[in-house]
């Protein structure tokens, strides 16, 4: 699914954040009008920006407009977008989706072998915060859930806490899920600062890939990461913060998976949720595929043992990004349809599978790298 398009911008001096409409009579604030049949002759100044597929050749106005936008198909009435000076139109919030994510920063202090969004060292936090500061008050108050990801969101520093406070104030009913490597919370003052927000709708999703520091540090390509993450988790627990452990399943994590499950139970019995996640074939993964790939069919014994052990201890366990035909039936009760709608796909043979509606399918980018054991149920 398209989340970005681009045209030729005129009169845009700073990013314009607004709500998409196709109704030229709309009177709401911060609206961005889509005109597929030429610009309106009047009222154009009522809109924060106008997007059109037409050529810019004979237009003389001084209002922000993006011309020659190739497609509007992916934009729905009420979606929130940011239009940049260079004509980029990026979707920030999709009104009809439960899967909306704010990218906090592209910077990260880890460099995981299988990172799906490889970090970039650029100072983007103030620019992104400036966009979200305008966008968050426009999000519908009944928004069920927002995800905050990176990079490493805590590298926003003070802005990380300001962002959470803003969401808490503007969207008090919204569940917020922050994906963090947890390392920053090894510094107790940051865990304490987070707890000062008194934000009970906040959950921190933190990856732990092994019960042994050398293996975890190798997977995340960062010295001392394991010790910092485990200390961070304990500091967060000290302040009653809600924690989810995320384990990505691949060639490096599978050999110690059952030991990891015991480590989690023994050392972190307070976590609210543990999820075991299939590998995404994007970002660094294709480059490290020889070190990472194992057919999911071939790790079902280890996965089953880890999941059943934790569940047997009364812990809340899930399996994400797996296909029902690859999982033994005994594990289906743990499988969640976890892949966000905009990146979820099925193989052609799935069309004749009678479990299609129950199965979470594949990441779109995993259509070219998936288990050899995908078989439709007759
Ligand atoms: S065949 Fe496709 S829809 Fe059916 S269980 Fe397998 S992946 Fe899911």
Which DSSP string do the residues of 363-378 spell out, in sequence order? EGGGGGS--TT-----
pLDDT score at 60: 81
**pLDDT tens-digit series, residues 270-303:** 999 999 999 999 999 999 999 999 999 999 999 9
Nearest atom in ligand 1 to the alpha carbon of residue 356 is 3
When pLDDT is cut at 50, 70 and 90, the band that residue 328 belongs to is very high
pLDDT score at 148: 98
What fold, for 101-368? Answer: TIM Barrel (3.20.20)
Distance CA(278)–CA(7), nearest Å, equals 36
When pLDDT is cut at 50, 70 and 90, the band that residue 41 belongs to is confident
Q: Pseudo-torsion of CA 299, 301, 305, 307, nearest 10°?
A: 50
Start and end residues for every CATH 3.20.20.70 domain found in the chain:
101-368
Separation of CA 353 and ligand 1 centre (Å): 6
Residues 6+ apart with CB under 8 A from 119: 106, 107, 108, 111, 150, 151, 152
Nearest atom in ligand 1 to the alpha carbon of residue 354 is 4
**Ligand 1 site-directed mutation target among 278, 296, 297, 323, most atoms within 8 Å of CB:** 323
pLDDT score at 240: 98
What fold, for 4-92? Answer: Glucose Oxidase; domain 1 (3.50.30)
Separation of CA 237 and ligand 1 centre (Å): 38
Separation of CA 350 and ligand 1 centre (Å): 5
pLDDT score at 35: 92
This prediction's pTM: 0.94
Separation of CA 108 and ligand 1 centre (Å): 35
Start and end residues for every CATH 3.50.30.10 domain found in the chain:
4-92
Minimal-distance CA residue to ligand 1 atom 2? 350
**Ligand 1 site-directed mutation target among 297, 321, 347, 378, most atoms within 8 Å of CB:** 347
Separation of CA 148 and ligand 1 centre (Å): 29
Minimal-distance CA residue to ligand 1 atom 6? 325
**pLDDT tens-digit series, residues 70-80:** 999 999 999 99
Tell me which residue of 316, 192, 313, 339 sits closest to 244, measured CA to CA.
316
**pLDDT tens-digit series, residues 74-121:** 999 999 999 999 999 999 999 999 999 999 999 999 999 999 999 999
When pLDDT is cut at 50, 70 and 90, the band that residue 1 belongs to is confident
Ligand 1 cavity residues, CB under 6 Å? 323-325, 346-347, 349-350, 353, 355-356, 359, 361, 374, 376-377
């Amino acid at each position: 699914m398209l989340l970005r398009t681009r045209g030729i911008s005129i009169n845009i001096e700073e990013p314009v954040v607004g709500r998409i409409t196709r109704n030229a009579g709309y009177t709401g604030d911060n609206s961005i009008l889509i005109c597929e049949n030429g610009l309106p002759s009047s009222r154009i100044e009522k809109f924060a920006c106008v997007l059109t597929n037409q050529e810019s050749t004979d237009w003389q106005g001084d209002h922000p407009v993006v011309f020659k936008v190739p497609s509007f198909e992916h934009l729905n009435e009420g979606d929130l977008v940011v239009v940049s000076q260079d004509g980029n139109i990026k979707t920030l919030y999709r009104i009809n989706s439960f899967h909306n994510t704010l990218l906090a920063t592209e910077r990260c202090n880890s460099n995981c072998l299988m990172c799906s969004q490889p970090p970039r060292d650029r100072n983007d936090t103030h620019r992104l915060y400036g966009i979200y500061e305008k966008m968050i008050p426009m999000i519908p108050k009944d928004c069920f859930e927002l995800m905050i990801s990176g990079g490493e969101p805590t590298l926003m520093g003070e802005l990380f806490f300001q962002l959470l406070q803003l969401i808490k104030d503007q969207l008090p009913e919204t569940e917020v899920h922050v994906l963090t490597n947890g390392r920053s919370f090894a510094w107790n003052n940051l865990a304490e600062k987070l707890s000062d927000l008194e934000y009970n709708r906040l959950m921190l999703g933190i990856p732990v890939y092994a019960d042994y520091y050398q293996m975890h540090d190798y997977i995340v390509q960062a010295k001392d990461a394991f010790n910092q993450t485990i200390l961070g988790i304990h500091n967060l627990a000290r302040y009653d913060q809600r924690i989810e452990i995320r384990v990505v399943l691949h060639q490096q994590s599978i050999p110690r998976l059952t030991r990891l499950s015991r480590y989690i139970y023994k050392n972190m019995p307070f976590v609210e949720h543990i999820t075991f996640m299939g590998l995404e074939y994007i970002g660094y993964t294709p480059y490290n595929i020889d070190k990472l790939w194992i057919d999911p069919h071939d790790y079902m014994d280890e996965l089953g043992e880890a999941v059943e052990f934790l569940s047997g201890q009364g812990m809340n366990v899930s399996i994400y990004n797996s296909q029902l035909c690859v999982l033994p039936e005994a594990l289906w009760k743990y499988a969640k349809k976890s892949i966000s709608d905009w990146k979820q796909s099925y193989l052609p043979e799935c069309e004749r599978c009678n479990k299609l509606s129950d199965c979470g399918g594949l990441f779109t980018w995993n259509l070219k790298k998936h288990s050899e054991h995908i078989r439709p149920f007759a």
